[in-house]
Structure 1
Amino acid sequence: AMHTLGAEYAVSFSILFSVLTLIGVVGNLLVIVAIGSDRKMRACIMNILLLNLAVADLSNVVLAMGEWSPAVFIGRPLWILPDALCPINRYLECVFLFTSISTQLIVCLERYIATIHPMRARAWCCRNTALKAVAIAWGLAAVFALPYALHHQVIYRGSDRHCVNVALNQSWWLAFKFVEFIQYFVCPCAIIFIGYSKIASVLWAKNPVGIKSDSAHMVQSGSEKQLATRRTVVKMLVTCALVYFCCYAPIQALFLTKSIFKLRYHPNYEVILLLNVFAVTCSASNPLLYTLFSTRFRNRLKTLLFSSERSDRYSSVANGREPVRAVVTRRNSCCENSSCVITRPCLSTGAKYPPVPKCLYCL
């Protein structure tokens, strides 16, 4: 039967999708510009990963418009783009989704090493390793999503065109979807849950005697401000992971009920659109979480959007007025974040290389 959307639902969904898409596009673009335009921010491992996550989420939000816009503005799911874009669009959607969750997994592993094995983080969590991990994530996603490109095509029902999966009812497709369910939902969520649980047990430990020596040393030597900063970062990342789980758990539950448990449940089209709302919400929420949790990211956005203060600072130097504070530079000496590899000035306060709790360019 042809799916149709009532007028009352069409208005609600059109507003909801439009707002989420606007937030997702603007928010992720700001993340990309904020990090991508600053060489020092790009040198921080965490920022490289968050930049990659923003690229994947932005692309996913933009491509999703091709699916939901006909449904809410025309009233039924049609394919309005050229036929050749049907398999490409669906393929790229999956690539960006798989890359997004893979990046969150890489972020968790990086935080795990930096927290549980801080003495090894400088060797393991270097810029080259992060770039290789990101490249592998994109490569695996591109290969794994190939069946979507090979088995999606446009079919005609009267004058209407629909982008459909022609292999949907074949047994091998069920096996493929089950592997996808394990690889890109169960395993990442399980690893992220275990990893952040271990990280939290270290950062919130009242007595570090019972934990490993290197992480115990980090807790004992860190000031309250340093620990608070680390805890805030972990809270932000855990919230991002929880948003992913909550947004995609209903979709995976529907897959399990229909495919694995063979329950004959055919959701209304409004339910299907609501699941798409969850997916767009997941891609649009991360920039809001960065802004909510990260003071440094908020400051970077202020500098990016209102750069008069930065311009005045540079012009004072250009006009011959010396900065008030002297600066010295030493690689890796000014940031307690062991994964940060930038060279940045340290404020001179009498000590040769005064410590800074956390690099100003690291989110």
Structure 2
Amino acid sequence: MSLPRIAVDAMGGDHGVRVMVSGAALARRQHDKFKFLLVGDEERIKKALEDHPGMREASEILHCDDVVSGDEKPSRALRRAKTTSMGLAIQAVKDGSCGAAVSAGNTGALMAMSKLALRTMPGIDRPALAALLPTLEEHDVIMLDLGANTDCDARNLVQFAIMGAAYSRIVNKGRTPRVRLLNIGTESIKGTDDLQRAAQLLRDAESLDMQFDGYVEADKINRGEVDVVVTDGFSGNIALKAIEGSARFVTDLLKAAFTSSLRSKVGFLVSRPATELLKHHLDPNNHNGGVFLGLNGVIVKSHGSANAQGVANAVAVTARLLEDDLTDRISADLIKMGEEALAANGSGMDETVLGK
């Protein structure tokens, strides 16, 4: 199967061209059907490609030496959308020359540019940032929104659930996703009015290919008991950073414990296989690739600090979403929800759920 090209913002992220090109090259070694539009400084990209001869025939370079900085305000970045590597990568998706774009640059700027250029899908009020997080089970959990929308009403949460479930069916190969809303308790009386209304709407949505299981508390996100966790961007971003911080804390604590004495160092050598497995599981590079769901196009955000393997994982996520037509899946579920809303006749589910 021939995939559409993937536009890569080669200038974004903490490590820039070298790591972005290396990551794309690593992804191509794993899947030789990938083709790329590398957007950035042509001379630097060509130099980086010297280490990856197999990438040359699969890549086209679009020269651009203007970069969105990591601390740049989205409003300022928007004014330079036509001159920056990030903006031109998104434009390639808009004009159809590429099927998706990957960037490790400024998240706020990437969202603002993507939303302006691609617009939201019919039936979606706001795009949401979704990411894969590790669990105790073999599968990852999808969590959204992770910071794109700080204030969300019931309608937004229902739309996020529909989008997250569609993404989960791709990641988990068709398995019906277990969906829950993040809350301060699992009892039906807990949470805000918007949370309770969203929960009721999802319980009533019998036609959707998901299993809505009510609420989940933050300490259960990584237990493997749920496939999709839905929340507003404010709570989601806090939860995500708490999870990432806890992972770093555990890693640093183990490192300190194993280097505290000669006896501890011997213990480390004995337990090294287990600690290496733990390190691999907690490494964010192995779960890299946040997706802006709800846009008329696929945009994937890589961690700014990602290494080549992390970038390769983000590219692999992008390709999977293209292969399985994520936007078509979301559209189909929105249509189901709309038809069910029209047939509900007073159940509390109406067209406003879909932003019409």
Range into which the TM-score falls when normalised by the shorter chain: under 0.3
TM-score by length of 1: 0.26
Q: Looking at CA atoms only, which structure, 1 or 2, has the larger radius of gyration?
A: 1
TM-score by length of 2: 0.27
